[in-house]
Structure 1
Amino acid sequence: MDKEKLYQYIHSMIESSTKKPKYMSISTVKVASLLGFTAGEVEKSLNDFIGEGRLKKARLEVPPFHDIYLLP
C-alpha cells in the first residue's frame, strides 16, 4: 500500500471541501474500494497520519455526529 498516495488523495478531498473550516467525513470502505486497498489498511493509515500530525480528527457537535478529518 502506498501511504503517500493515500495521504495525497485524502488531502485533496479535504482541500476541495466547501465547508468552513474545511473538513471531510471519510468512508474508509469507499476510499479502500477506490484505491484498491483494504478498509483496515486505510483506517490504520488514517490513525498513523493523525499520530504524525498530518491530519486532525474531530467529531461533529451537531447531528449526524460524524467523525471528521481536518488538515492541521
Structure 2
Amino acid sequence: MDKHQLLNRVQSMIQSSTKKPKYMTISSVKVADLFDVKPEEVEKGLQELVKDGLLKQSKLDNPPHHDIYLMP
C-alpha cells in the first residue's frame, strides 16, 4: 500500500468534511475497495501515518465512539 497515495486520499476526505473542526471517520473497507487491497493493509497504513505524525487519531466522545482522523 502506497502511503503517499493513502495520505492524499485521506487528506482530501478530511478537507471535504463539513464538520468543525474538520475530521473524518475512515472506513478501511471502503478505502480498501478504492485501492483494491485488503482492509488490514489500509489499517496498517493509517497507523503508520499516525505514527509518522502525518495524521492525528482520536475517538468521538459520544456514541458510537468511532475512531476519527484529523490533519495535524
TM-score range, shorter chain: over 0.9
1:38 Cα offset (Å): 1.2
1:64 Cα offset (Å): 1.4
Give the Cα–Cα distance (whole angstroms) in 2 for the partners of residues 47 and 37 of structure 1: 16
Match of 1:66 in 2: 66
Give the Cα–Cα distance (whole angstroms) in 2 for the partners of residues 2 and 71 of structure 1: 18
Match of 2:12 in 1: 12
Give identity over the alignment, percent: 56
TM-score by length of 1: 0.94
Q: CA RMSD in A?
A: 0.8
Aligned residue pair count: 72
1:49 Cα offset (Å): 0.3
**What does residue range 20-59 of structure 1 map to in structure 2 within 5 Å?**
20-59=20-59
Give the Cα–Cα distance (whole angstroms) in 1 for the partners of residues 32 and 39 of structure 2: 5
Q: Which runs of 5+ in 2 are unaligned?
A: none
1:67 Cα offset (Å): 0.6
**Structure 1 stretch 30-39 or stretch 45-54: which is displaced more?**
30-39
1:17 Cα offset (Å): 0.3
TM-score by length of 2: 0.94
1:3 Cα offset (Å): 1.7
